[in-house]
């Protein structure tokens, strides 16, 4: 874009004649904003100097469709369209900061115009002077969920928010020029004097908190099915790959004949020979039986129709299974490491010949020497500042000396093996490949390139649709904050899935694992809890901390929401206090719909600046810093007690602490503790050693029982379990 001076040329004579604001209405309409477009045009098409750049990036379409379906060029938007065009014109001709905008950023600018103009149209604002700081605050509240819904890969960067708010900030910067051109300017700074960097940071935190984890009702079957696929099904699919690779082609094979007993010949390379081999292979192929099941996990791959099409049928079915295993592996790695899709897709292909582990995976000994951590370093991870940096992701843990391979590491090994035949011809060094195939994967003709985020998202959506049954989902999840939150999942069969939800799900289960997950997954999340204290990996990764913080805020809001709506009862000293403090809010929101109740509860929590830390045994709300027991025992000065002391925090300390909240979600922990303590006591009694040294165990049992009673837990059932496990109960 060439910089114009404020003095504009008459298009006919090329002479400097008038300033921009001196142009008449007709002259303004004829004014050439760029070589190809004039002011009155519905499309401003700028010349893009970057070779090969898409034309759409340097085009601003004023006939854009707003959120209500109307076009900005319709008569009722005339005022809005006029000042929007003037704003862009002044930005081109007389930018307040003296910087000329790049023509390739027009599509971003159009998005920013669209956010603001759609909202103004919706709420009935016409002119910039109506945008007071309070009104702009409402606009930001409005766009936060829109941006959260559009987010494709994890949290949006601050730059994305700055782009979203660009038009608002420029209405202020360009106010003098706009005013001269007859647009009544904003009366006050739209962000109360804060710069766009500060505002974007605040908004990005807000949006990050709006991105929900997968509802448990979806996450549990999805993760369980993905982990299930990495066992027997993965082994079968690796065997099944002969269908694509045809390893016998061209080699000498021995076959039985009706005339002679056996003879040797060269396996043919023609299509006909290949078809026959695939058919023979699939005819004999048997799928395995998953442990605990009775039938093979998949029916034999069937044929039908003519020989050539049946081969493709068989290949297509095999390719479908091949994709399912690859997608299951992607789900497991993402959900168990907290990686973003873009980081997952930047893992390099290959196996380290020395360690037998996927490239870039290393084993580190923990600080205590008790564990070995499997860590992968992502090659590229964008930071807020835009510079790439390397960060570590924990893929799993095992006790030192064990030969166990964590599930996420196994998943990477499986993907390496699955894609091996195409690696040689791939135009990338990355592990996850996008292989073009029509009628089933073909080794020789397929082209392989690195997979993109959108493709990965689409593949996982397809995985859910094919393998995860969501048809019986109820309308609402157990922890819903809006009505009918599961209906879109059920009706779309999982098409509302976005890969970034897996990071929130990672954080959710790292904070409190769900016992309904398969044992291998439970173990992984248990390891992650250890990684937060044992290793420094998670603490060094800002993206994981951000996810954990954001899910902590969501869990805090949910706990308060379910308390005020009467879904849960709080116990513990802080729990009882909080319950009383919530009385007024409870009355205020009693008659409101669920979504309004939710937003008022969130506002209440933010106003009171409540912070919460979650563990399996209690939730810590450290608002009474002088009474934090975990700090009392370590004699931490009161003025530095801003979070629990993880090295001294223990269930028995938390149970009587002034900062502890207990609710139904902690029942599992206290039930297990009650059972274990009672069983120890009975064993000691039977051995005749239940003396004073067991006072601590007795105390634990009593403490657990007291807490369980507050939840209304069935103590009689637990006692019955104790007796039956200890053998004191007669079988009859
Ligand atoms: S003892 Fe437990 S509840 Fe109390 S402050 Fe420490 S972590 Fe929180």
Residue with tokens 């992502």: 378
pLDDT at 374: 92
- Write out pLDDT tens, residues 179-213: 999 999 898 999 888 877 778 777 777 666 667 78
**Distances in Å between the alpha carbon of 170 and those of 88, 150, 299, 453, 703?**
9, 24, 62, 32, 61
Joined tokens for residue 38: 């004039």
Do the strands 619-620 and 660-661 form a parallel or antiparallel pair, or are they unpaired? Answer: antiparallel
Ligand 1 pocket check for 644: Cβ under 6 Å: yes
pLDDT at 317: 87
**If you measure from the C-alpha of residue 647 to the centroid of ligand 1, how many angstroms do you get, rounded to a whole number?**
11
Burial of residue 128 (CB within 10 Å: 0-12, 13-18, 19+) is: buried
DSSP symbol at 575: H
What string of H, E and C letters represents the secondary structure of 334-377? HHHHCCCHHHHCCCECCECCCCCCECCEEEEECCCCCEEEEEEE
The structure's pTM equals 0.72
Ligand 1 pocket check for 621: Cβ under 6 Å: no
Ligand 1 pocket check for 523: Cβ under 6 Å: no
- Write out pLDDT tens, residues 450-459: 898 889 999 9
**Distances in Å between the alpha carbon of 6 and those of 20, 35, 97, 379?**
6, 17, 14, 47
Angle 423-428-432 (CA atoms, 0-180°, nearest 5)? 70
Ligand 1 pocket check for 649: Cβ under 6 Å: yes
Q: How far apart are CA 595 and CA 626, in angstroms?
A: 36
Ligand 1 pocket check for 143: Cβ under 6 Å: no
| Nearest alpha carbon, ligand 1 atom 8 | 620
Do the strands 16-19 and 7-9 form a parallel or antiparallel pair, or are they unpaired? Answer: antiparallel
pLDDT at 312: 64
Compute how many other C-beta atoms are within 10 angstroms of the C-beta atom of residue 74.
Answer: 12
pLDDT at 658: 94
pLDDT at 389: 65
Question: Mean of the per-residue pLDDT values for the chain?
Answer: 84
Ligand 1 pocket check for 612: Cβ under 6 Å: no
**If you measure from the C-alpha of residue 695 to the centroid of ligand 1, how many angstroms do you get, rounded to a whole number?**
23
- Write out pLDDT tens, residues 171-180: 999 999 999 9
- Write out pLDDT tens, residues 530-575: 776 655 566 667 777 777 888 888 889 999 999 999 988 888 899 9
Q: How far apart are CA 122 and CA 717, in angstroms?
A: 57
- DSSP three-state, residue 101: coil
Confidence check: pLDDT of 253 > 90: no
- Report the pLDDT averaged over residues 643-664: 90
Mutate which of 613, 623, 653 for ligand 1 pocket (most atoms within 8 A of beta carbon): 653
Task: Name the residue among 400, 393, 403, 399 with its Cα closest to residue 336.
Answer: 393
**If you measure from the C-alpha of residue 645 to the centroid of ligand 1, how many angstroms do you get, rounded to a whole number?**
8
| Nearest alpha carbon, ligand 1 atom 5 | 628
Burial of residue 675 (CB within 10 Å: 0-12, 13-18, 19+) is: middle
Ligand 1 pocket check for 655: Cβ under 6 Å: no
pLDDT at 98: 77
**If you measure from the C-alpha of residue 548 to the centroid of ligand 1, how many angstroms do you get, rounded to a whole number?**
19
pLDDT at 36: 86
Q: How far apart are CA 607 and CA 562, in angstroms?
A: 18
Ligand 1 pocket check for 574: Cβ under 6 Å: no
524 or 62, higher pLDDT: 62
**Distances in Å between the alpha carbon of 281 and those of 101, 243, 278, 299?**
62, 7, 5, 15
**If you measure from the C-alpha of residue 667 to the centroid of ligand 1, how many angstroms do you get, rounded to a whole number?**
18
Residue pair 209/161 in contact (Cβ under 8 Å)? The answer is no
Joined tokens for residue 39: 């002011």
Burial of residue 254 (CB within 10 Å: 0-12, 13-18, 19+) is: exposed
- Write out pLDDT tens, residues 270-310: 777 777 788 888 888 899 999 989 999 999 887 554 444 55
Confidence check: pLDDT of 729 > 60: no
Task: Name the residue among 359, 358, 367, 371 with its Cα closest to residue 397.
Answer: 371
**If you measure from the C-alpha of residue 544 to the centroid of ligand 1, how many angstroms do you get, rounded to a whole number?**
23
Ligand 1 pocket check for 630: Cβ under 6 Å: yes
Q: How far apart are CA 132 and CA 138, in angstroms?
A: 10
Q: How far apart are CA 139 and CA 147, in angstroms?
A: 12
pLDDT at 731: 45
Kindly state the percentage of the chain with pLDDT values over 70: 87
Category of 193 on φ-ψ map: left (φ > 0), alpha (ψ -120 to 50) or beta: left
* Helix (DSSP H) and strand (DSSP E) numbers for the chain: 28, 14
- Residue 1: which residues within 8 A CB-CB, separation 6 or more? 34, 46, 47, 92, 100, 101, 102, 103
- Write out pLDDT tens, residues 670-724: 999 999 999 988 888 887 776 666 788 888 899 999 888 887 888 999 999 888 8
Task: Name the residue among 551, 566, 460 with its Cα closest to residue 505.
Answer: 551
157 or 287, higher pLDDT: 287
Q: How confident is the model at residue 254 (pLDDT cuts 50, 70, 90)?
A: confident
Mutate which of 615, 634, 649 for ligand 1 pocket (most atoms within 8 A of beta carbon): 649
Ligand 1 pocket check for 470: Cβ under 6 Å: no
Instruction: Give the H/E segment covering residue 280.
Output: helix 271-284
Residue pair 601/561 in contact (Cβ under 8 Å)? The answer is yes
* Cα of 657 vs its chain's centroid, Å: 34
- Write out pLDDT tens, residues 500-535: 888 888 888 888 777 788 888 887 777 777 776 655
Ligand 1 pocket check for 349: Cβ under 6 Å: no
What interhelical angle do 216-229 and 232-240 show, nearest 10? 50
Q: How far apart are CA 119 and CA 127, in angstroms?
A: 12
What interhelical angle do 715-726 and 695-711 show, nearest 10? 140
pLDDT at 157: 57
**If you measure from the C-alpha of residue 658 to the centroid of ligand 1, how many angstroms do you get, rounded to a whole number?**
8
pLDDT-wise least confident of 80-89, 252-261, 560-569, 643-652: 252-261
| Nearest alpha carbon, ligand 1 atom 2 | 654
**If you measure from the C-alpha of residue 624 to the centroid of ligand 1, how many angstroms do you get, rounded to a whole number?**
10
Q: How confident is the model at residue 16 (pLDDT cuts 50, 70, 90)?
A: very low
Q: How far apart are CA 118 and CA 112, in angstroms?
A: 10
**If you measure from the C-alpha of residue 530 to the centroid of ligand 1, how many angstroms do you get, rounded to a whole number?**
18
Joined tokens for residue 442: 């073909």
Ligand 1 pocket check for 572: Cβ under 6 Å: no
pLDDT at 494: 92
**Distances in Å between the alpha carbon of 168 and those of 71, 160, 164?**
20, 14, 9
- Write out pLDDT tens, residues 82-98: 999 999 999 988 888 87
Kindly state the percentage of the chain with pLDDT values over 90: 38
Ligand 1 pocket check for 617: Cβ under 6 Å: no
């Amino acid at each position: 874009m060439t910089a114009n001076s404020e003095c504009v040329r008459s298009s006919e004579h090329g002479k400097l004649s008038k300033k921009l604001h001196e142009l008449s209405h007709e002259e303004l309409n004829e004014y050439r904003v760029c070589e190809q477009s004039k002011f009155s045009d519905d499309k401003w098409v700028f010349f893009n100097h970057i070779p090969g750049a898409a034309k759409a990036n340097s085009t601003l379409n004023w006939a854009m469709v707003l959120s209500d379906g109307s076009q900005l060029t319709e008569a009722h938007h005339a005022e809005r369209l006029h000042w929007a065009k003037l704003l862009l014109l002044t930005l081109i001709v007389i930018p307040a900061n003296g910087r000329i905008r790049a023509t390739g950023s027009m599509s971003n600018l159009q998005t920013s115009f669209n956010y603001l103009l759609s909202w103004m149209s919706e709420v009935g604002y016409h002119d910039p002077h109506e945008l007071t700081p309070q009104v702009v605050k409402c606009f930001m509240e409005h766009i936060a969920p829109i941006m959260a819904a559009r987010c494709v890969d994890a949290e949006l960067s601050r730059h994305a928010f700055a782009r979203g708010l660009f038009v608002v900030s420029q209405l202020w910067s360009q106010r003098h020029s706009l005013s001269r051109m007859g647009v009544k300017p904003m009366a006050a700074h739209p962000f109360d004097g804060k710069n766009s960097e500060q505002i974007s940071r605040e908004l990005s935190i807000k949006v990050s908190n709006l991105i929900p984890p997968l509802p448990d009702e979806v996450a549990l079957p999805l993760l369980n099915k993905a982990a299930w696929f990495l066992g027997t099904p993965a082994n079968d699919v690796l065997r099944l790959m002969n269908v694509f690779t045809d390893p016998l082609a061209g080699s000498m094979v021995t076959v039985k004949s009706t005339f002679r007993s056996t003879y040797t010949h060269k396996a043919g390379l023609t299509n006909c020979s290949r078809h026959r081999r695939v058919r023979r292979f699939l005819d004999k192929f048997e799928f395995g039986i998953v442990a605990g099941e009775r039938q093979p996990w998949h029916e034999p791959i069937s044929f039908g129709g003519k020989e050539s099409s049946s081969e493709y049928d068989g290949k297509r079915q095999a390719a479908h299974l091949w994709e399912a295993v690859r997608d299951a592996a992607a789900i497991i790695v993402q959900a168990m490491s907290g990686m973003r899709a873009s980081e997952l897709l930047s893992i390099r292909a290959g196996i380290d010949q020395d360690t037998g582990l996927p490239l870039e995976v290393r084993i580190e000994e923990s600080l205590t020497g008790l564990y070995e951590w499997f860590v992968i370093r992502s090659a590229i991870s964008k930071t807020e500042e835009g510079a790439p940096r390397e960060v570590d992701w924990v893929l799993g843990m095992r006790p030192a000396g064990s030969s166990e391979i964590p599930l996420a590491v196994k998943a990477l090994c499986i993907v390496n093996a699955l894609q091996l035949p195409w690696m040689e011809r791939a135009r990338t060094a990355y592990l996850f490949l996008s292989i073009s195939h029509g009628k089933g994967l073909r080794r020789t003709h397929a082209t392989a390139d690195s997979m993109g985020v959108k493709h990965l998202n689409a593949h996982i959506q397809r995985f859910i649709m094919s393998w995860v049954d969501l048809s019986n989902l109820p309308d609402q999840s157990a922890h819903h904050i809006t009505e009918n939150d599961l209906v879109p999942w059920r009706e779309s069969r999982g098409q509302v899935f976005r890969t970034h939800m897996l990071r929130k799900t990672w954080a959710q289960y790292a904070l409190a694992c769900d016992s309904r997950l398969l044992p291998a997954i439970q173990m992984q999340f248990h390891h992650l809890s250890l990684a937060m204290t044992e290793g420094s990996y998670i603490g060094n990764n800002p993206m994981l901390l951000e996810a954990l913080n954001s899910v902590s805020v969501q869990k805090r809001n949910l706990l308060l929401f379910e308390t005020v709506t009467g879904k849960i009862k709080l116990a513990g000293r802080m729990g009882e206090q909080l319950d009383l403090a919530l009385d007024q809010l409870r009355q205020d929101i009693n008659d409101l719909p669920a979504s309004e109740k939710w937003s008022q509860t969130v506002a209440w929590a933010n106003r009171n600046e409540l912070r919460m830390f979650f563990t399996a045994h209690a939730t810590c709300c450290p608002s009474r810093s002088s009474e934090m027991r975990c700090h009392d025992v370590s004699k931490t000065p009161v003025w530095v007690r801003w979070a629990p002391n993880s090295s001294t925090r223990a269930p028995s300390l938390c149970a009587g602490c002034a900062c502890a909240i207990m609710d139904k979600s902690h029942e599992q922990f206290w039930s297990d503790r009650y059972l274990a303590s009672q069983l120890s006591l009975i064993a000691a009694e039977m051995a005749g050693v239940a003396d004073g040294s067991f006072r601590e165990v007795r105390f634990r049992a009593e403490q657990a029982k007291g807490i369980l009673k507050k939840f209304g837990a069935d103590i009689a059932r637990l006692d019955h379990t104790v007796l039956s496990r200890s053998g004191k109960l007669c079988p009859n």
